[in-house]
Structure 1
Amino acid sequence: MPYCSKCGVEVDQGVEKCPLCQLQINGMEEDASPPQKYPDVPVESPKKASMTPEQKRIRAWEIVGATLLIPFLIIVFTDLIANETVSWARFPMIALLLAWLLATFPLLFAKRPLVIIAGEVLSVLIFLVLVDYLHDWVIDWFYKLALPNLAVLILIASAVTILSTQVKRKGANIAAFILFGIGALNLGLDLIIMSTLAGKITMKWSLFVLVPCFIIGGFLLYLHYRFKNLNQDIKERLQM
């Protein structure tokens, strides 16, 4: 609101002279904008530097290594103090080393799937060889049981993975492929174990797993391909 610069009296808008001292009033308009609090520019909090995905994987790898190193050292020193030699600690030691290797390959070679698969398989093979050898210093059951079972596992897992990635329309068929793989894996393990123990190829328990897996898997395939437009029909009906 305008005011007289001489006597300080506030006057109404449009008044040209002060009613008290008759001094000419300069036209002053009230500032329509409300006063702003200091500071005018908001202060932004400093942004923390974000880690890249590669740095996050390396950090996770370091944490896994440190976490596994603690029980590793405890086991080694406990065995040394109790027996003055490394005896029973050999087996948990190599198990911890296997866990470290299984975590190392996917964390350090995340963009190289072939390296991950080869490293994981090789790590498991070495672990099984060491478990067999450290038991009685002779490699015995590795060739008869461990290696054939691992080969069956790799073969079936590869087949399920290829089927799951090659199909165009994914859904219940993926679950069916996994169930078929589980049934086939149990069948292979049963045949290998029984042929080693009984000396002849026979099935003992795998049918109890194989039959339900194949029945449920077949039903899922039927639903997936028989009612392939079922999801779309349901969505259209819900939108009506």
Structure 2
Amino acid sequence: MAYCPKCGIKVEGDNQPCPLCSFHIPKVNEEREAIVSVRKFPKTANPYPAYLRRVLNRIFIFLSLLVLVAVCLVFYIDYSLNDMFTWSRYSNLSILAGWVVLYFSFGYVQSFYKVIIGIGLDAFVLLFGLDIFNGRLEWFFPLAFPIIAGATVISVSYWSVIRALSVRGFNMIGYFFMAIVILSMWINFFIHNYQNKTNPLNWLIVTILQLLPVLLVMIYVKYGMPERIKQKIARKFHL
């Protein structure tokens, strides 16, 4: 529907004389006016994340090519010297395991749970391969397997507690140190068990003694530390 620009009445179509004043009505592009009326302002977008992603992709591709060259070179040197693959199996397995960690570090997996499980599986494959290359499994199942499984479970549990309880600030650091202490005692238990030196009572006492300072520090920070010091530390470390 068009309007006469002279007398203002509605007319059936544009680009024709007005029936009232005979003024010639100019042609109007209604679709263009509708688009302009909808898009009054330009679409805002932050180009920095996309630019950063492109840069990271290029760096990761370059590092992946270096890893591929290193693996091929190590295999070639080993085979040239020994007419078979000996030490290169250990080296290349470690290089590939490091490449997997690099893949997770570049943000290609967004879920923190998937990152933890992926790194845990990567450690399983690495340690299993290093043990089996000797011709027999000696230390993987009694030592490496429970340690990696425990570290994975503790990491997932820590992140789940942080999210479920909405833990922030100093409490987050306290929970982190508690998880580190539990993990260290878990590792210590299986190392002593592998060496046939495990004493459950002594292990329990040492665990309590290591957890006690962390608990005391958390209690002091929660109830004894002045609020102004808390605020300074929070601003300093962005807690």
How far apart in 1 are the matches of 2:106 and 2:230?
42
Return the letter of the residue paired with 2:73. Answer: I
Native 8 Å contact 2:117 2:152 kept in 1: no
Instruction: Provide the residue aligned with 2:176 in structure 1.
Output: 178
C-alpha distance in 1, partners of 2:70/2:204? Answer: 37
Q: Which moved more, 1:113-122 or 1:125-134?
A: 113-122
8 Å CA contact retained: 2:97, 2:126: yes
CA distance in 2, matches of 1:158, 1:142: 22
- The answer as to 2:54 corresponding to 1:63 is no
Q: Which amino acid aligns with 2:99?
A: W
Q: 1:77 to 1:174 in 2, by over 3 A?
A: same
Alpha carbons 2:78, 2:87 under 8 Å: kept? yes
Is contact 2:147-2:190 (8 Å) kept?
Answer: yes
Report the secondary structure of 1:135's partner residue. Answer: coil
Could you say which residue in structure 2 is the equivalent of 1:45?
Answer: none
Residue pair 1:98, 1:127 contacting (<8 A) in 2 also = yes
Match of 2:211 in 1: 214
The match for 1:22 is none
State whether structure 2 residue 69 is matched by structure 1 residue 81: no
**Greater shift in the superposed pair: 105-114 or 87-96:** 105-114
Contact 1:72 1:93 in 2 (8 A): yes
Higher helix share: 2
- Residue 128 of structure 1 is matched in structure 2 by 127
What is the identity, as a one-letter code, of the residue corresponding to 2:158? V
Contact 1:91 1:131 in 2 (8 A): yes
CA-CA distance at 1:150 after TM superposition = 0.9
Tell me the distance in 2 between the aligned counterparts of 1:108 and 1:233.
32
Gaps of 5+ in 2: 1-46, 233-239
Per the normalisation by structure 2, the TM-score is 0.64
- 1:143, distance to aligned residue in structure 2 (A): 1.4
Taking the aligned partners of 1:79 and 1:177, their CA distance within structure 2 comes to: 47
Instruction: Tell me the number of residue pairs that the alignment of Structure 1 and Structure 2 aligns.
Output: 185
Could you tell me the percent identity over the aligned residues?
15
TM-score by length of 1: 0.63
Q: Which amino acid aligns with 1:132?
A: D
